[in-house]
Amino acid sequence: MRSPEHVASAVSDPKLVEERRAEILDAAVRLFSENGYYVTTIQQIAKASGVSIGLIYQYFGDKDDILFLSLKLVLDRYETEIPARLEGVEHPVDRLCTAIWAYCSIVDALRHAAVLTYRSTKSLRADRRTLIQDAERKTNLLIEGCVHQCVAGGYMREVDEFLFAYQVVLFCHAWALKNWALRDRFSLAEYVSEGVKLMVEPFLTAKGKAALAALRRRSHDFRDEPARTAPR
């Protein structure tokens, strides 16, 4: 999962590689997110992660590698945490709403890092870019799956599931991308709630609507839902 795929290291002990890379990437993601890829220097990453410059080059081939794995780290969070949050949630409508809620709250936790994926994917070498796009597609499929179950279960009328899922994903990303415009008008919970009204509800069948109503009764519009994402 935390795949070192495509990125070679001069260090042999895989456990050490794992560990050190995590430390360095942690600092890199923070710095890239705050200041951007080109503005962040290797020196800064070295200082922030408490290792020497030379060591960074033992664990990463070059700066592009660090960016790649930084972006991968963010996308892996989506891919890992959304399913984790869906665990135990059975009803398709519940699953879709929970997925939206989960995605938005992860984006909220990683706000700057989420923006980074938009800012810096193009700075990646072409082959790496494709890998990142593949990872994004995979996350989209998570959402698309939820949508499909809703449709298949008769809770939602037929839609272009691919595009529908993409809209949902964009909506979640927007919480980071356009936070400057949104934060004055919505809390995260309100944002998710409005998102459901805007994107999900209109497509629900009678059966689906009933499910959503039941869900709302239980969760008071998601408002009491504790943030399950560990804040960073």
Residues that bind DNA (CB under 7 A): 10-13, 16, 20, 38-43, 51-55, 57-58, 62-64
Q: How far apart are CA 49 and CA 38, in angstroms?
A: 18
Q: Which two tokens stand for residue 168?
A: 């949902």
Q: Which does 133 bind (CB under 5 to 8 A by kind): DNA, its own copies, none?
A: its own copies
Q: Does 38 bind its own copies (CB under 8 A)?
A: yes
Q: Which does 57 bind (CB under 5 to 8 A by kind): DNA, its own copies, none?
A: DNA
Contact 72, 3 (CB under 8 A): yes
Q: Which does 2 bind (CB under 5 to 8 A by kind): DNA, its own copies, none?
A: none
Give the count of residues interacting with its own copies (CB under 8 A).
38
Q: Which residues make beta-bridge pairs with 156?
A: 204
| Footprint on residues 165-184 left by its own copies (CB under 8 A) | 166-167, 170-171, 174, 177-178, 180-182
String of DSSP letters for 91-132 = SHHHHHHHHHHHHHHHHHHTHHHHHHHHHHGGGS-HHHHHHH
| Footprint on residues 197-226 left by its own copies (CB under 8 A) | 197-199, 202-203
Q: Does 53 bind its own copies (CB under 8 A)?
A: no
Q: How far apart are CA 75 and CA 69, in angstroms?
A: 10
